[in-house]
Copies of this chain bind each other. A is one copy, B any other.
């Protein structure tokens, strides 16, 4: 019940710059902080900081009333930056939109985007037209990709000289990462996504000097996926859809691969024991996908994705969930890699 107010109290203390001020000058009082960060009322700063004192993030000296960073003093800059990216994403793309969650579930559309932005489609459509959504989304996605891609490529096999298709590869970042991590003579990576992304993708390839090794094909995964590939990558994509659409995509990829070819999937997963403590994936993703991003979709358990791969004609050869001890406490998604081979 206190979820939204706890969340925004914490976000606000950062947004106001109170944490930065206390890092620079420990011991400031509520009145001094209010003046420094441009808050209208000292009492308001004191009110917000009650929660941070409760949580041990900030400490207050009972005699002087001055505040200093407590647990927050020990958080590494990079960890804090990542956590703030997540919090900003949730604030900008979800907090208000989730007010309409019930209507979103009724209609299967993101009613919050329509109500707040007049946007008819998904969050991924809306980011093209709305700078605030785009900033929030892109900042997080870049953070996530930078953190997870090294792990992904360290755990998938892409044989030398492979013809690789990056399914729904957006503007080519996945293709670039594939080449950087898995370069081999003859390796060729093709980004497959909506045609309007081609210009930017090609520009990205050229900026990296990889235009000879990377290419772009425009199209829609629900129409027809180009054929003749040895390896297909599906990263950050399957969790956007309901089962029927996931199967359509997997069957399309199955058709697109040469016999013996392999698909590698990167996707967040729910724990097999849904009650697993310390795992917050079901606390976040259903509401986010249904009410803020897609009007459908959401991750599944690893075992569910395995069975869907089999249903699409694949043999699953590897299924690896990122070890929770390697995931910082502020990161919600627990990512997994599924590798599967087209056997016939």
Contact = CB atoms under 8 A, between A and B. Distances in A.
Q: Name, among A4, A16, A53, A87, the residue most crowded by chain B CB atoms within 10 Å (CB to CB).
A: A4
Interface residues of A, number: 66
A226 B73 CA distance: 52
A104 B21 CA distance: 19
A70 to B, nearest CB: 11
A151 interface: no
B280 A242 contact: no
Contact of A7 (B1, B108, B289): B1
A108 B5 contact: no
Contact of A11 (B6, B39, B101): B101
Nearest to A292: B5
A43 interface: yes
Given A3-B3, A94-B4, A99-B91, A106 B40 contact: yes
B99 A96 contact: yes
A286 B54 CA distance: 13
A268 interface: no
A296 B106 contact: no
A47 interface: yes
Given A50-B270, A282-B54, A296-B43, A291 B8 contact: yes
A218 to B, nearest CB: 28
Contact of A242 (B38, B43, B296): B43
